[in-house]
Amino acid sequence: MAVPLVPRFLARSRTIAPAGWSRWLIPPAALSIHLAIGQAYAWSVFKPPLEDSLGLSGTASALPFQVAIVMLGLSAAFGGTLVERNGPRWAMFVSAVCFSTGFLISALGAATEQYWLIVLGYGFVGGIGLGIGYISPVSTLIKWFPDRPGMATGIAIMGFGGGALIASPWSAQMLESFGGDPSGIAQTFLVMGLVYAVFMTLGVLLVRVPTQDAAPEQPGAAADRTASGQVSARNAVRTPQFWCLWVVLCLNVTAGIGILEKAAPMITDFFSGTSTPVSAAAAAGFVGALSLANMLGRFVWSSVSDLVGRKNIYRVYLGVGALLYLALATGGDASKPLFIVCAAVILSFYGGGFATVPAYLKDLFGTYQVGAIHGRLLTAWSTAGILGPLIVNAVADSQEASGHSGTDLYTTSFYVMISLLVVGFLANELIRPVHSRFHEPAGGTAIHETGTAPEEAAK
């Protein structure tokens, strides 16, 4: 269906790859979006200066990030179909405009000391940019790399993890230069908004959808794993497979957040009563190691899934993840290297779970509306974002209130995480190929197979 509101330059029909277009130009296009929007995980850098200069509480200063994450889930869930219909260039453009404008509105809010403008700008407007941007390259990458969909989406989603690695030191350095007062914060937001607008433009300009001729040959092994039929987003949410995968993603993410949420105090508490206590600086290094594991897991494990299959790799994430949590709960304080390795591998599974899920969706539902289905599935992330910290903090607080300390603060939540991972493992086992009654009729998916709407192709 042609969408008259979409400018010609952004229309799907204008983004069809010309002959000779290399598919290796698509990952940098995707990365320019994901490396930018991954900044969301570096919001904590702004919390102390905002609290000091605007007199905010810790809860209030977290509000822009929380609103942004809620908007990420909502815009991905509700905007997914639009992204599929209008194409990746339109989606990347919308993402770049919303994300950058969010910073500019926040700059105005900081300059005028109107905090609600920061919540509106960074949280609401920027959050829409996060959601649309997160799903924007997924289906395009899968179509360009039908032989290695896990690796392709792994590269992009690794970028989301890497975005915080860039934004965190960069914004900290700018705040140091401009100052942590409202004027300095405003200047930092302003520079970030402008730089991200330019940086994300590369994705808008570079992204192309493949024509059938330009799409690479599909080796048999990879094609075998592809869904036998194409399923629309509307039908996908009616299948048990979607909801089993929703549970799998939600519980895998919850388990990862269980460690991420309290990484620094956790390692300090675990070794506080031993001969090798952990300093605050080393705890910060531990958080850095977990970031690296999270990021690498996104690329490495999702690439491995192309070889071993999606169901098997989730068996590893959930099954081995549960065993690693058990090792932490029973002997985590016996050895610092053991603790670090177990936590890092769990975090690599957390990242791997995010990065492998688009390829799993493609295997189950085909490429027809995989971006839109992915958007709907991301509500599992929003749920886990609430569930994970809630469990870990509630357990730690209740243990502390009853006079416990050290490892006792965390072992109960570790056992809760093991239970959740076992439930996720069982949900993964229940996933079977989608029944043919949910498949689209033959010929009804032309827009996504060729990158051209039927009526546009006929012109």
**Which residues in this chain contact other proteins in the complex, by CB under 8 A?**
17, 19-25, 28-29, 31-32, 35, 147, 159, 162, 165-166, 168-170, 199, 202, 206, 213-214, 216-217, 278-289, 291-292, 340
C-beta separation of 124 from 21 below 8 A: no
Q: In angstroms, what is the minimal distance from the CB of 158 to other proteins?
A: 9
Instruction: Kindly tell me which of 120 and 158 has the beta carbon lying closer to other proteins.
Output: 158
Q: In angstroms, what is the minimal distance from the CB of 166 to other proteins?
A: 4
Instruction: Kindly tell me which of 359 and 372 has the beta carbon lying closer to other proteins.
Output: 359
Q: In angstroms, what is the minimal distance from the CB of 341 to other proteins?
A: 12
Beta strand segments in 98-216, E: none
C-beta separation of 253 from 380 below 8 A: yes
Instruction: Kindly tell me which of 76 and 164 has the beta carbon lying closer to other proteins.
Output: 164
C-beta separation of 132 from 91 below 8 A: yes
Instruction: Kindly tell me which of 35 and 120 has the beta carbon lying closer to other proteins.
Output: 35
Q: In angstroms, what is the minimal distance from the CB of 292 to other proteins?
A: 6
Residue for token digits 């959808």?
A: 209
Instruction: Kindly tell me which of 291 and 302 has the beta carbon lying closer to other proteins.
Output: 291
Q: In angstroms, what is the minimal distance from the CB of 215 to other proteins?
A: 8
Distance separating alpha carbons of residues 254 and 41, to the nearest angstrom: 16
Q: In angstroms, what is the minimal distance from the CB of 90 to other proteins?
A: 20
C-beta separation of 361 from 311 below 8 A: no
Q: In angstroms, what is the minimal distance from the CB of 286 to other proteins?
A: 5
Residue 202's closest CA among 74, 36, 349? 36
Instruction: Kindly tell me which of 287 and 457 has the beta carbon lying closer to other proteins.
Output: 287
| b/e sequence 1-38, b meaning 16+ C-beta within 10 Å | eeeeebeeebbbbbbbbeeebebeebbbbbbbbbbbbb
Instruction: Kindly tell me which of 31 and 98 has the beta carbon lying closer to other proteins.
Output: 31
Would you state the structure tokens that stand for residue 449, as one six-digit string? Answer: 């197979």
Q: What are phi and psi of 81, to 5 degrees?
A: -65, -40
> Which alpha helices (H) appear in 207-335, and where do they start and end?
220-224, 233-236, 240-260, 263-270, 280-308, 310-315, 321-331
